[in-house]
Amino acid sequence: MGDILHRVGIEGSSPEKVYAALTTLDGLAGWWAEKTTGDTALGGVIEFRFGPGGFDMKVLELQPGRLVRWEVVEGPPEWLGTTIRWDLRQDGDWTIVQFAHEGWREPVEFMAHCSTKWAIFLMSLKQLVETGIGAPDPRDVRISDWH
């Protein structure tokens, strides 16, 4: 079992603003996938659709301004059953976002791709909150032949 870990800091913001970007359809569509639909409430399922495919996430846990957790209930076989965790906190002028995509069964090449791509999307989240303009799919930064 392996995890993808990331950490970014968002300047001049607050955990509440970042939490909104993770728990509303408009927020999610602003940094991850423009085609985001579904129910962002606790127990709801959010559908994210990308050029190459998509993921459905069940909302497992919500602590306003502190924590968001999802479980992958539809998507590539390597993602099924994995969980995604967002921890938020304020450190001075920075909102610290700790991210974990937990429970990968094997350290496959696709996991390495997803790790890099998550970093790119976390930078998109940072840009969205800092400037109002993120880079979600299909305007995301391309990293390879796998997109």
Contact 64, 55 (CB under 8 A): no
| Sign of CA pseudo-dihedral 130, 116, 144, 47 | negative
Q: Does 4 bind a copy of itself (CB under 8 A)?
A: yes
Give dist(CA 39, CA 43) in Å, integer: 8
Contact 8, 19 (CB under 8 A): no
- Contact status: 80 vs a copy of itself (CB under 8 A): no
- Among residues 29, 99, 128, 140, the one that binds a copy of itself under rule CB under 8 A: 99
| 91 part of the interface to a copy of itself, by CB under 8 A | yes
- Single-letter residue type at 23: T
Among 51, 116, 133, 139, binds a copy of itself (CB under 8 A): 116
Q: Does 131 bind a copy of itself (CB under 8 A)?
A: no
Residue among 44 and 107 whose Cβ is closer to a copy of itself? 107
**Does residue 115 touch a copy of itself according to CB under 8 A?**
yes
Is 92 a binding residue for a copy of itself by CB under 8 A? The answer is: yes
Question: Least distance from C-beta 41 to a copy of itself, angstroms?
Answer: 28
CB 39 within 8 A of CB 89: no
3-state class of 70 per DSSP? Answer: strand
Output the CA–CA distances (angstroms, integers) from residue 83 to 13, 14, 127, in the order listed. Answer: 26, 24, 24
Give the footprint of a copy of itself on this chain (CB under 8 A). 2-9, 91-94, 96, 98-100, 107, 109, 111-113, 115-116, 119-120, 122-123, 126, 141, 143-146
